[in-house]
Amino acid sequence: MPKTTKTHFELFKKECLYWHERLGLQRWDLIIAHEELDSLISQLRYNAIAHRATVVLNITWVDVDRAETLNDELIISSAIHEISHLLEAEMSSLSRERYVGEDELYRAEEVVVNILVREFMKLRKGN
């Protein structure tokens, strides 16, 4: 299987940081790593209470269906995919709590919705 390079990782990191800022996720401390993962292209690990997250690009490109086409677009797509998980991480974490209140879940959902509205409005205006 092909390996992701330092150049791939720098692109992944740049893209993660771009979307971290663009989506207003600065309340999350973000670490971006390049390490071996089992059967994943990339991964998000997080602690929603502490607002700490690690985004990882696998050193080994495990997407067998697209192994021959390992390119910048796939690296960027993987970064966006993981930051999208971060966007909904707090809501996801709360939804798994046994005693979460409806108000807590609603507030977490509103954070995501407001970010999406802001970004969709920018896209609509051509920004």
The arithmetic mean of pLDDT across residues 85-110, rounded, is 83
Residue 1 lies in a domain: no
In which element (H, E) is residue 72 found? helix 72-87
Residue 124: is its pLDDT beyond 90? Answer: no
- Domain contains 28: yes
Question: 15 is in which domain, residue-wise?
Answer: 6-125
Distance CA 96, CA 108 (A): 13
For the CA atoms of 51, 73, 61, 88, what is the dihedral angle to 10 degrees?
20
What is the tens place of the pLDDT at every residue in 14-70?
999 999 999 999 999 999 999 999 888 999 999 999 999 999 999 998 866 665 678
Cβ count within 10 A of residue 16 = 25
Res 67: pLDDT: 58
Would you say residue 17 lies in a domain?
A: yes
